[in-house]
Structure 1
Amino acid sequence: MASSLPFPAPVTDAAPSPEALRAAADRLVSALAAHSDPEYRLSVLKRVVRRLGEDRYPLFIRLLGVVAESDDVRAQRLLADTFGTALRRMDLPGGALSSWGATRLPDATGPVAVSALSGHFFGATPRRLLGPVEYLTVWHLQRTQRTALGAETFRTALARLIALLNRSEDARTLYPQKLAADAQNEMEGAYTRATRERLRALADAWRAGRSPEEVAQAALEVADAPLPGQWVVRDL
């Protein structure tokens, strides 16, 4: 696999420009289109996620949104079909979010040194790779190592993502099935009860054939407690 896949250096910046994002999305689609083997395309997509790095998985979701907002139906189908392959293999290109309740103090009998509070301290376990839909949902609903994601940004990003995935029959069918299964499984604390309820509502609306906007809204309409006070929220 070529070492140049598929991003120019500016896209690894903390805040890439719209032009850099469009260029990266175009290169991603071109890299997928260069091969007819679905398994190879999936390996390309997973390598993109690895090269961006764990902290930049939201950037990968933004790239998916760029393709979703384009008028290139062929590119959308190509990308969605690659996710369909990933779902059939149960091997989604994922990003990691920590569970807030998983944090623990370093073992010590006296004062804790600042140097002990490394990145591994804040929610290092349990960590689990989440697909883009699950990632957005957990990011919005749970305390993680990231600043919380605002409701409107969550709704918009989720609707775009679902519209993209709906371009593939496999992705449209298999992804809500996966979410419904996740909603029934506590999975070592990766999801809170509220998150599982949202995933279940999302899966039900998606399987019922509702529009992407309605599916995203369904994920927000489940009655539960509001976010804890003093939370800081941000855009994607």
Structure 2
Amino acid sequence: MHAALAGSPVPSAEALRRSAARLVAALAAHDDAEYRLAVLKRVVRRLGEEQYPLFLRLLNVIAESDDTRAKRLVADTFGTALRRMDLPGGALSSWGATRLPESTGPLAASALSGHFFGATPRRLLGPVEYLVVWHLQRTQRVTLGIGTFQQALAKLIGLLDHSAEARVLYPQKLAADAQNELEGAYTRTTREHLAALARAWQAGLPPGDIARAAAESHADTPQRTWIVRDL
């Protein structure tokens, strides 16, 4: 994956590979599915809320590897999380809660600090939902570019497809999320994209086609004034 993580040093490719290998080793050391889920959630917790994109990058490293057993271990752990409705999630600010500070002149950079966004309601999102919201909605993060979004989403779905349970339960969850208009976490456009993603996934399409289905109505979302960055 490209580019830097906001607010932190850029991990080297070797550092990411070592961290991914340690994560897989920790999961492989235990046969208990619940314990593996606890390990995965502990990794997310130790990274911290603002570093959830780093967790996504670790998942991408595993997805890019040729270690089928490692992929199955991670995917099966997500299957357990989906069954328990307890996904290791990251927080993004709610779309309806993000408001610009009042100002009669140009906005100072300090007005858009983490403290400003930290005051807005946030909701924990699983890795797939996180990528979709990051790409489509205005949150505390700079918008994720469409190319990186599709690439990251395709790799993540390819990884999750190594678990029959995750392959069935995750699109079901996304379809249910797309029907929920009361939560306030998703815009109407985001719900439409989640529904398209769920349909494509349930139809058994290849990961790349699923990612394209999730982004195909992107042109309908105005972005001319948005700042776009890579993951």
Report the TM-score when normalising by structure 1: 0.87
* Aligned alpha-carbon RMSD (Å): 2.2
The equivalent position to 1:134 in structure 2, one of 129, 133, 141, is 129
Q: Counterpart of 1:206?
A: 201
| Cα distance in structure 2, aligned partners of 1:29 and 1:53 | 19
Instruction: Give the equivalent residue in structure 2 for 1:215.
Output: 210
The within-5 A match list for 1:60-99 is: 60-99=55-94
Q: Which sections of structure 2, spanning at least 5 residues, go unmatched?
A: 1-6, 102-108
Does residue 166 of structure 2 align to residue 171 of structure 1? yes
Between the two proteins, the alignment pairs up a number of residues equal to 220
Give the drift of 1:126.
Answer: 2.6
Is residue 189 of structure 1 aligned with residue 184 of structure 2?
Answer: yes
- Where structure 1 has 5 or more consecutive residues not aligned to the other structure, the ranges are 1-11, 107-113
1:115 Cα deviation after fit: 8.6
Aligned pair in 2 of structure 1 residues 48, 16: CA closer, same or farther (>3 Å)? same
8 Å Cα contact 1:126/1:188 also seen in 2: no
Q: How does 1:139-150 map to 2 (within 5 A)?
A: 139-150=134-145
1:230 Cα shift?
Answer: 1.9
Distance in 2 of aligned mates of 1:100 and 1:123: 13
Report the counterpart of residue 33 of structure 1 in structure 2: 28
Tell me the TM-score normalized by structure 2: 0.89
1:230–1:179 distance in 2 versus 1, CA, 3 Å? same
Counterpart CA distance in 1 for 2:47 and 2:166 is 23
Give the structure 2 partner of residue 111 of structure 1.
none
- Aligned-residue identity in percent: 73
The residue type paired with residue 173 of structure 1 is: V
- The aligned counterpart of 2:220 is 225
User: What is the rounded CA distance, in whole Å, between the counterparts of 1:105 and 1:163 in structure 2?
Assistant: 38
What residue in structure 2 maps to residue 9 of structure 1?
none
What's the counterpart of residue 105 of structure 2? none
